Amino acid sequence: MTFNRRDFIKTVPAMGAAFSLSNPAFSNTAELKANDDRKIWVDLLYKISYPVLDAMSQGKLKERMPVEVPDGAYGDRDTVTYLEAIGRLLAGLAPWLALEDINDQEREIQTDLRKKAIQSITHAVDPDSPDYINWTKGAQPLVDGAFLVHGIMRAPKQLWEPLDAETKSRLIKELHAQKLAIKPYYNNWILFGAMIDAFLFSVGEQGDLMRMDFAIKKHMEWYLGDGWYGDGANFHLDYYNSYVIQPMLIQVLEIAVTKQKAYEADLEKAKSRMKRFGRQLELMISPEGTYPAIGRSICYRSGAFQPLAEIVLKGMLPEELSNGQVRAALTVVYRKLFSAPGTFDENNWLQLGLAGHQPGLAEPYISTGSLYLCSLGFLPLGLPASHPFWTDTEEDWTNKKIWQGEDQKRDSAI
């Protein structure tokens, strides 16, 4: 069964209480009726992903993607926004691309996006492509090179192995050039360099274990307690523990353990802390399905929930959380985020904002490509539809229960 994908993504409306699809590839089979939440997630992630991958797979991302910037934007954002778009998108899309136990309704679009992702990476490193992107000018490419390899490490069989030998060689060359050209800031940025080295080790190349070790040791020093790391030596009340610190630290440690078993103790600590932080993220969701719009980079939308999404994906939910309540909470949040008028433009590109089009909320380093970090909240789509996360009965989440007067177990720090 085939369908027109441009028409399909336009059937997922930019506003409304629900996402209703009439396309035959997403017909209301009994399986989907039993799993409407998953259908909503897949529809949303596809709508977010398709414009980027469709354009870049044809070498037309620079031609098609609008580059919206806030007042006072830093420098020339169109020199960095394209690597942001593809790197950040694939970091969150990867677990779903990796899924093999998948129904026919999802398989068709998954197969299409897998192909487009490979073609997009190929264009990104091909000097003769119109979509050859900047890997070394300025500091920002180090960030999004790290997000790109995070995605590849989350789906190596789908995003690395199918690449032709020349594309693999070109990507490795660009990453080595990044290491030489860009010095990380002394904060969460040291994880970006460590991620590049972790990736190189993961594909059989020579990484720098000392650079990984430095990032690990500093973040262990910067741990502040109760699941929170400092962004450097200082505390920042924002979502950078979600966007970068906790998931990338664990990814770096998972590769470091393959080199030296001495890192196992740090990995277990990091997992315990992310479980606690994921619990706190669930507690931040209001009875109405909103969450605090606090700190910088809130325009990354659902990326704020990456650690909660990852502990679901890794089967690490703490005993205080059930699959049914986390799924219900995140589904309500995501429906609110992505149904707000102005979230997408008329061609389904994301626009600056949190609950709609709100460019005043964007920092000077944010542009259109930056927004695709929202994909990081969709990691549980890497679990099959038969997994308890998708099949368990929907439950109210913690704050909904509390504000309805239900008795609950008190929260405790670790």
pLDDT tens figures, 271-322: 999 999 999 999 999 999 999 999 999 999 999 999 999 999 999 999 999 9
Neighbours of 180 (CB within 10 A): 8
Joined together, the tokens standing for residue 325 give: 């309540």
74, 76, 81, 83: CA torsion to nearest 10: -110
Instruction: Identify whether 194 is part of a domain.
Output: yes
CA distance 90 to 219: 25
CA distance 84 to 194: 18
Assign 186 to helix, strand or coil. coil
pTM of the predicted model, to two decimals? 0.93
Return the DSSP state at 155: S
Neighbours of 214 (CB within 10 A): 15
Whole-number mean pLDDT of the chain?
Answer: 93
| Total domains present in the chain | 1
Mean per-residue pLDDT, 339-367: 98
Q: Can you give the pLDDT at residue 201?
A: 98
Of 12 and 218, more confident: 218
Q: Can you give the pLDDT at residue 65?
A: 98
Instruction: Identify whether 280 is part of a domain.
Output: yes
Instruction: Identify whether 87 is part of a domain.
Output: yes
Residue 224: which CATH number?
1.50.10
DSSP 308-329: HHHHHHTT---TT--HHHHHHH
Q: Can you give the pLDDT at residue 42?
A: 98
pLDDT tens digits for range 256-283: 999 999 999 999 999 999 999 999 999 9
pLDDT tens digits for range 80-132: 999 999 999 999 999 999 999 999 989 999 999 999 999 999 999 999 999 99
Is the pLDDT reported for residue 7 higher than 60?
Answer: no
Instruction: Identify whether 410 is part of a domain.
Output: no
Where does residue 190 fall: left (phi above 0), alpha (psi -120 to 50 degrees), or beta otherwise?
Answer: alpha
| pLDDT category of residue 9 using cuts at 50, 70 and 90 | low
DSSP 277-301: HHHHHHHTS-TTS-----STTGGGG
Of 389 and 7, more confident: 389
Joined together, the tokens standing for residue 90 give: 């694939």
Instruction: Identify whether 320 is part of a domain.
Output: yes
User: Largest alpha-carbon pair distance within the chain?
Assistant: 63
Of 256 and 32, more confident: 256
CA distance 346 to 51: 11
Q: Can you give the pLDDT at residue 31?
A: 40
Which residues, listed in sequence order, are joined to residue 223 by a DSSP beta bridge?
229
Instruction: Identify whether 411 is part of a domain.
Output: no
pLDDT tens digits for range 173-219: 999 999 999 999 999 999 999 999 999 999 999 999 999 999 999 99
The owner of tokens 């277990």 is 268
| pLDDT category of residue 25 using cuts at 50, 70 and 90 | very low
Is the pLDDT reported for residue 3 higher than 70?
Answer: no
Is the pLDDT reported for residue 13 higher than 60?
Answer: no
Mean per-residue pLDDT, 247-263: 98
253, 255, 258, 262: CA torsion to nearest 10: -20
| pLDDT category of residue 75 using cuts at 50, 70 and 90 | confident
Is the pLDDT reported for residue 23 higher than 90?
Answer: no
Instruction: Identify whether 353 is part of a domain.
Output: yes
Cα Rg of the chain (Å, integer): 20
Mean per-residue pLDDT, 151-166: 98
Domain that holds residue 284: 5-403
Instruction: Identify whether 409 is part of a domain.
Output: no
